[in-house]
Amino acid sequence: MSSEPGPLPVARAFDIDGAKERLAAGTGGYEIVHRSAGVEVGVYVLVAPEPDRQQPHEDDEIYVVLEGTGVLEVEGERVELDEGHAVFVPAGAAHRFVGYELLSLLVIFERKPPYGASSRM
């Protein structure tokens, strides 16, 4: 029996609303809804008064606001965000969300191969 995982399905649905509701029912947090070799998709929910404690990441990321409003501070710049807005944050940039009551975000990370690994095209 092979220990290698099989091929990824061509398409697979994941429950973003369910993750958002589970996290919002508590004190917020992050839940991964999809992970593959090149991308990670998660739902990040911030509930005041809990602060955003994230640290800079090794990968580029995009935040899409699903619900709520807030401000993203990135390297000293402030970006006002409302439902339906999206913002790109480059790898390594210091960033955090402020000025929110309840903020639900879809987070998309580009997962780069480890240094020296070849990528298939």
Number of domains in the chain: 1
Per-residue burial over 22-51, b if 16 or more Cβ lie within 10 Å, else e, is: ebbeeebbebebeeeeeebbbbbbbbeeee
Give the structural domain span for 94.
33-110
**Contact of 46 with 28, CB cutoff 8 Å:** yes
* Residue 62 within a domain: yes
Inform me whether the pLDDT recorded for 1 exceeds 60: no
* Residue 13 within a domain: no
* Residue 4 within a domain: no
* Residue 70 within a domain: yes
Q: How many residues does the chain have?
A: 121
pLDDT, tens digit, 9 for 90 and up, residues 81-120: 999 999 999 999 999 999 999 999 999 999 876 655 544 4
Tell me the pLDDT band of 76, cut-offs 50, 70 and 90. very high
Residue 51: give its domain's CATH number. Answer: 2.60.120.10
Give Rg (Cα) of the chain: 16
**Contact of 104 with 43, CB cutoff 8 Å:** yes
Question: How far is the C-alpha of 67 from the C-alpha of 89, rounded, in Å?
Answer: 19
Q: What are phi and psi of 94, to 5 degrees?
A: -70, 130
Tell me the pLDDT band of 77, cut-offs 50, 70 and 90. very high
pLDDT, tens digit, 9 for 90 and up, residues 31-74: 999 998 889 999 999 999 999 999 998 999 999 999 999 999 99
